[in-house]
Structure 1
Amino acid sequence: MQYISTRGQVSPIGFIDAVLMGLADDGGLLVPEQIPQVAPSILKQWQELTYTELALEIFSLYIDDEIPRADLQKLVESSYATFRHTEVTPLQKLSDDRYVLELFHGPTFAFKDVALQFLGNLYAYVSERRNSVIHILGATSGDTGASAIEGVRGKEGIRICILHPHEKVSKVQELQMTTVDDANVLNLSVKGNFDDCQRIIKDLFADIDFKHRYHLRAINSINIARILAQTVYYFYGYFQAVKQGSPAKINFSVPTGNFGDIFAGYLAKKMGLPIHKLILATNENNILARFVNEGLYQPGDFKETYSPSMDIQVASNFERYLYYLYGEEAGIVASLMAQFKTDGRLTVSGDILAQVQGDFAAYSVANEACLDTISAYHQTYGYLLDPHTACGVTAADQLAAPGEATITLSTAHPAKFDEAIQLRQIKQTYPPQIQALFAKPQFQTVVDGTNEAIQAQLEKFF
């Protein structure tokens, strides 16, 4: 399997080189040269696999024999052995047509663990195999940072620096990152919001000389390995719903801010998984919902919400979708992204907008509506949603038609966002791993949100 850039100016490269490149050297995002097609007969066989067995089969389609199968199996098994649930991502049935796929049973209680436990082990494998230095640079709106740090802390040959927006993540998210005192970890608390952090990351990766001089590697969902790992739980969740007697039409509702999680679902559907609807749920930072519903992709005013991991205006994975939306024409994508950089907006209409609305349904969830859903589901089902999952559930309730079952991706354990849940007088007990964080000292450096300030920190650290 070869990987190419959405902007067409990178020669095809293998899987490991694609993982190491992260952001394509032409500023685009890497995608597989072809999307593997999975026949219905294979899907039927896959229904009987465990999560790790399924992950091995799906990864194999995208890696071929670049990593020997025995080595890949060890990577997969060691990555998911860290999860607290034997099924890795168990499916909870709340009613005849409502399901929640719990993606938060990894070490940091967030869905990012599903991909980043694997990617951390993969980086360690590549570092040892190629005798190379791995310097990881990433930005987080809350969950990616902790998951990435947990995936590589203490590993030889790897250093990691994570940027997070200063005082704009939940307390638990902050503690999960900043209580780590390993020598190979640097936390930078950036004055600004997540979009500032993400812009700096992209700018630094686009500086090819700087990127190569410091061996920078990506941990954000610009890295194709993240997307591939996340496709697995769409297949697994779908198969579990079928086993539980779900109706023939199965939707997925996905709380999303950076478009990576729902793009993984889009990829799974293009591979042959018969998903009925992909429901895109945003909070009040609703650039993606406006694009689907109105054809306008333009950042609005940034709003702090009860679902901070989705407080994002510019979605880094959106370009991958544009590539497929425009028939894999890299020249068109490069032109569109240049236009967006200049004008700060993109518009689509006519047949293109009709295609977007065929690919996704979208709903923007108001702040109070998010809390209303937490209260309602806690009262009706005795099930506690975190605020991000609540956005997904709200969108499902609004957009799923009768006779359709909807699986909402539950992206985080509610204990990570107790500030919001307390607003509805709901008390919860912290898992002991989270409770222990409050007694630990923190290690972080507060910096200005400029390329120069971050670059100076990186030069000292790397």
Structure 2
Amino acid sequence: MRFRSTRGASPEVDFETAILTGLAPDSGLYLPVEWPSFSNATLASWTDLSYQEVAARVIEPFAEGFVDLDELESLLAAAYEGFGNREIAPIVDLGDLHVMELFWGPTLAFKDFGLQMLASMVDVALQRHDRRATVVGATSGDTGSAAIEAFRDRDQVDVVILYPHGRVSEVQRRQMTTVQSQNVHAVAVDGTFDDCQDLLKRLLADQTARQAFSLTTTNSINFGRLAPQIAYYIWAVLKVGRGVSFAVPSGNFGNVFSG
């Protein structure tokens, strides 16, 4: 599948390039040129599959030419091995309301779904080309924790997370700053989350720095993080039924956009 920048000034790229680049050179977001669709018959055939098997089939069209279905299933099995519930995204029936639990990942955030898989896919791409990359991100708390947990101890990746000093929860601060991994760098910024985002955007806009350090990003501007999150919306439809409406209690647009 090909991906195009939302600003239209960068060449189209494949999935591997999109996840390794994160943000397009023109500062646009990489999105698919064409969005895949799944027929009712296809969805019906997925009803008895595990979460990882469903997720692999959702991601497969996006990752065409990068990894095949069997490889995706293996990557997803490894990525979600540390989740605390075998169903990965269990759905609780409350009568007229169903609640999908997205907190069973290692940092208790829904972002574990995207970042654990993104880290695995970035690893595959870097190993193929014998490259090293620096993954950068800005966080108000949970993105940083999830990114650090996903990328820690990976041989070909350094991860640098910017967070606002004194403006994240103590649990999240400890999740980011007590990791004993040589490739993890949590940086406290004297300012707000918006200041962290501005620093990140300026860094990614510097093409010299991007090439010198092989920069990519963990934030939801990276489609490699969004693609795995699409899967839990499909999972909910399979378990609850078609015609379901979603209410997303989150301030993160990446969570909503993936649905």
TM tier, smaller: over 0.9
Question: CA separation in 2, counterparts of 1:150 and 1:143?
Answer: 11
Q: Deviations over 1:170-207 (max 9, x none)?
A: 11111111111211111111111111111111111011
| Amino acid corresponding to residue 57 of structure 2 in structure 1 | E
| Amino acid corresponding to residue 190 of structure 1 in structure 2 | V
Q: Deviations over 1:405-459 (max 9, x none)?
A: xxxxxxxxxxxxxxxxxxxxxxxxxxxxxxxxxxxxxxxxxxxxxxxxxxxxxxx
Deviation at 1:142? 0.9
**What SS does structure 2 have at the residue aligned with 1:225?**
helix
Question: Aligned to 2:251, which of 254, 257, 266?
Answer: 257
Are residue 45 (structure 1) and residue 37 (structure 2) matched? no
Moved over 4 A (4+): none
TM-score by length of 1: 0.55
Are residue 69 (structure 1) and residue 63 (structure 2) matched? no
Question: CA separation in 1, counterparts of 2:221 and 2:239?
Answer: 29
Question: CA separation in 2, counterparts of 1:187 and 1:234?
Answer: 31
Deviation at 1:72? 2.3
| Amino acid corresponding to residue 46 of structure 1 in structure 2 | W
Deviation at 1:34? 0.1
Deviation at 1:161? 0.5
Deviation at 1:152? 1.2
Are residue 4 (structure 1) and residue 11 (structure 2) matched? no
Counterpart in the other structure of 2:183: 184
1:80-119 map, 5 Å: 80-94=80-94, 96-119=95-118
Q: Deviations over 1:284-322 (max 9, x none)?
A: xxxxxxxxxxxxxxxxxxxxxxxxxxxxxxxxxxxxxxx
Counterpart in the other structure of 1:22: 22
Question: CA separation in 2, counterparts of 1:69 and 1:252?
Answer: 28
Are residue 35 (structure 1) and residue 19 (structure 2) matched? no
Count of residue pairs the alignment pairs up? 259
| Amino acid corresponding to residue 235 of structure 1 in structure 2 | I
Counterpart in the other structure of 1:137: 136
Are residue 210 (structure 1) and residue 209 (structure 2) matched? yes
Deviation at 1:125? 1.4
Question: CA separation in 1, counterparts of 2:243 and 2:131?
Answer: 47
TM-score by length of 2: 0.96
Bigger shift: 105-114 or 37-46? 37-46
**What SS does structure 2 have at the residue aligned with 1:135?**
strand
Bigger Rg, structure 1 or 2: 1
Are residue 123 (structure 1) and residue 117 (structure 2) matched? no
Q: Deviations over 1:248-292 (max 9, x none)?
A: 642111123231110011xxxxxxxxxxxxxxxxxxxxxxxxxxx
The percentage of aligned residue pairs carrying the same residue is 39
Question: CA separation in 1, counterparts of 2:152 and 2:55?
Answer: 24
Deviation at 1:153? 0.8
| Amino acid corresponding to residue 264 of structure 1 in structure 2 | S
1:327-366 map, 5 Å: none
8 Å CA contact retained: 2:139, 2:163: yes
Counterpart in the other structure of 2:154: 155
Q: Deviations over 1:220-255 (max 9, x none)?
A: 11000111111100111222223xxxxx64211112
Q: Deviations over 1:143-180 (max 9, x none)?
A: 11111111111110111010111111111111111111
Deviation at 1:64? 1.4
Question: CA separation in 2, counterparts of 1:57 and 1:132?
Answer: 28
Bigger shift: 157-166 or 59-68? 59-68
Question: CA separation in 2, counterparts of 1:68 and 1:53?
Answer: 13
Query: Please, which runs of 5 or more residues in structure 2 have no aligned partner?
Result: none
| Amino acid corresponding to residue 66 of structure 2 in structure 1 | E
**What SS does structure 2 have at the residue aligned with 1:217?**
strand
**What SS does structure 2 have at the residue aligned with 1:161?**
strand
1:167-316 map, 5 Å: 167-242=166-241, 249-265=243-259
Question: CA separation in 2, counterparts of 1:203 and 1:256?
Answer: 26
**What SS does structure 2 have at the residue aligned with 1:92?**
strand
Deviation at 1:136? 0.6
**What SS does structure 2 have at the residue aligned with 1:189?**
strand
**What SS does structure 2 have at the residue aligned with 1:253?**
coil
Q: Deviations over 1:79-125 (max 9, x none)?
A: 1112111110101122x212211101011111111111111111221
| Amino acid corresponding to residue 33 of structure 2 in structure 1 | E
More helix by share: 1
| Amino acid corresponding to residue 153 of structure 2 in structure 1 | G
Query: Root-mean-square deviation (CA), in Å?
Result: 1.2
